[in-house]
């Protein structure tokens, strides 16, 4: 991948003792939609603000097409920013809000109107040009903020949890709109969120943050199926993670404490090496041991069902096996055997798990 925007060994400390961002390096391709994902306090927004120029790195380098950004003031960087709180001017119409960055950059006056109309058309707000922010819904105000961030054709558009204030339905609509706009404009976008579903749905790649460090950068499905650390496996999607030990005397076997030995993919067993590993099995990979006409899976557990959560199109079954938490997701309506308080045999096939070597 050719780097367009590069972060090299970025460090940010506010007190000289603790690093809010600790040695973060990322290469971002031109036109990429990259999401910074992590819990509160993980360093993702601080990293975004350093790209924008609102925070100064304690150490490291930020380059855009080889040019050093750190020496430039925020207004000297051709970077757009969209905030969660919209930050619209209440006394200005939609048209004037969107035109504001053009006026600040001394964009030719005779071309400002056409450019504003073009961007408002792109975000679906052309007929609201004369309205004031107070007359718009939350979703419409967010589109105005997005239009303002795009109108001056920035090199990079930064979005700091821009959908956080919207309800679920509107948030999903805006996810679709953002992906459409990204596709049509082709701009490089860096997006911050703590919502894993949002990140999975929108991103070309996701950078997972934890305690100021970068855990993994990968495509969404790679993060889901092949997390590099236990944190990523637990943070992305639903999971069963069992602590185990590689059985060096039996190729393809891992011992899961009280659950005993289980068979795993032999190639994954070889890559895991020696010692302790975490065995990740996604709930949709766990199945009832004896569905009609199907051979039972090699790895079987007796699961005591505690809770059943019905999502309509699927059912999440939560229980335990010899003191280990187990989660199983079934498509459609559950069979009669699936009821709270029941004990059922469940399992998975070798290769349906992912082994995470422990440090």
Same domain (yes/no): 123, 200 = yes
Rounded mean pLDDT, 65-76: 92
Do 169 and 254 share a domain, yes or no? no
Same domain membership, residue 143 and residue 42: yes
Q: Are residues 30 and 78 in the same domain?
A: yes
Q: How far apart are CA 206 and CA 218, in angstroms?
A: 6
Tokens of 191: 């997006």
pLDDT reported for residue 292 = 58
CA dihedral over 266, 269, 274, 279, signed as positive or negative: negative
Mean pLDDT of the chain: 93
pLDDT tens, residue by residue, 215-243: 999 999 999 999 999 999 999 999 999 99
**Quick check: 341 pLDDT over 90?**
yes
Left, alpha or beta for 19 (phi > 0: left; psi -120 to 50: alpha)? beta
Q: What is the CATH number of the domain that holds 297?
A: 2.40.50.140
Strands of the sheet with 188-193, listed across from one edge: 79-82, 156-160, 188-193, 33-37, 205-210, 213-218
Q: Is there a single domain that holds both residue 244 and residue 224?
A: no
> For position 293, what pLDDT does the model report?
59
Burial status of residue 269 (CB atoms within 10 A of its CB: 0-12, 13-18, 19 or more): buried
Unique residue bearing structure tokens 């495509």: 219
**154-191 confidence digits (pLDDT tens):** 999 999 998 887 888 888 888 998 999 999 999 999 99
Residues 225 and 338 in one domain: no
How many CB atoms are closer than 10 A to CB 109?
10
State yes or no: pLDDT of 129 exceeds 90.
yes
Strand partners, 281: 240, 353
Instruction: Please tell me whether residues 249 and 225 are part of one structural domain.
Output: no
Is there a single domain that holds both residue 269 and residue 134? no
d(CA 354, CA 359): 16
**Number of domains, the chain:** 2
**Same domain for 100 and 244?**
no
- Judge whether residue 5 has pLDDT over 70: yes
Where a domain ends, among 207, 230, 253?
Answer: 230
The tokens describing 47, both together, are 């990293």
Confidence class of residue 294 from pLDDT cuts 50, 70 and 90?
low
Domain residue limits at 36: 5-230
Same domain, 264 and 203: no
Residues 223 and 296 both lie in one domain: no
Q: What is the pLDDT of residue 167?
A: 83
Query: What's the pLDDT score for residue 112?
Result: 92
- Tell whether 203 and 257 lie within a shared domain: no
């Amino acid at each position: 991948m050719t780097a367009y925007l590069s972060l090299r060994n970025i460090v940010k400390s506010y007190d000289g003792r603790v690093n809010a961002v600790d040695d973060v390096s990322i290469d971002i391709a031109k036109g990429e939609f990259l999401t910074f994902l992590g819990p509160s306090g993980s360093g993702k927004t601080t990293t975004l603000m350093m790209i924008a120029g609102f925070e100064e790195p304690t150490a490291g380098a930020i380059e855009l097409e080889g040019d050093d950004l750190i020496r430039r003031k925020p207004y000297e960087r051709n970077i757009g920013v969209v905030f969660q709180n919209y930050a619209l001017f209440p006394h200005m119409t939609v048209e004037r809000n969107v035109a504001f960055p053009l006026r600040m950059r001394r964009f030719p006056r005779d071309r400002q109107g056409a450019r504003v109309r073009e961007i408002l058309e792109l975000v679906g707000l052309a007929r609201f040009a004369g309205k004031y922010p107070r007359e718009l819904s939350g979703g419409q105000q967010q589109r105005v903020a997005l239009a303002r961030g795009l109108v001056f054709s920035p090199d990079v558009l930064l979005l700091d949890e821009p959908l956080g204030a919207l309800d679920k339905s509107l948030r999903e609509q805006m996810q679709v709109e953002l992906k459409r706009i990204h596709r049509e404009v082709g701009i490089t976008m860096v997006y911050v969120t703590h919502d894993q579903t949002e990140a999975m749905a929108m991103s070309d790649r996701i950078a997972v943050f934890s305690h100021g460090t970068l855990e993994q950068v990968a495509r969404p499905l790679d993060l889901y199926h092949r997390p590099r650390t236990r944190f990523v496996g637990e943070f992305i999607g639903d999971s069963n993670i069992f602590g185990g030990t590689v059985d060096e005397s039996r190729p393809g076997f891992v011992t899961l404490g009280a659950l005993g030995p289980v068979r795993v993919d032999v190639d994954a067993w070889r890559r895991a090496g020696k010692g302790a590993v975490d065995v990740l099995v996604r709930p949709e990979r766990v199945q009832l041991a004896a569905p009609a006409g199907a051979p039972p899976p090699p790895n079987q557990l007796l699961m005591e069902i505690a809770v059943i959560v019905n999502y309509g199109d699927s059912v999440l079954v939560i229980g335990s096996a010899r003191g280990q938490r187990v989660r199983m997701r079934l498509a459609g309506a559950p069979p009669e055997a699936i009821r709270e308080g029941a004990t059922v045999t469940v399992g998975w096939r070798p290769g349906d798990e992912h082994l995470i070597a422990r440090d």
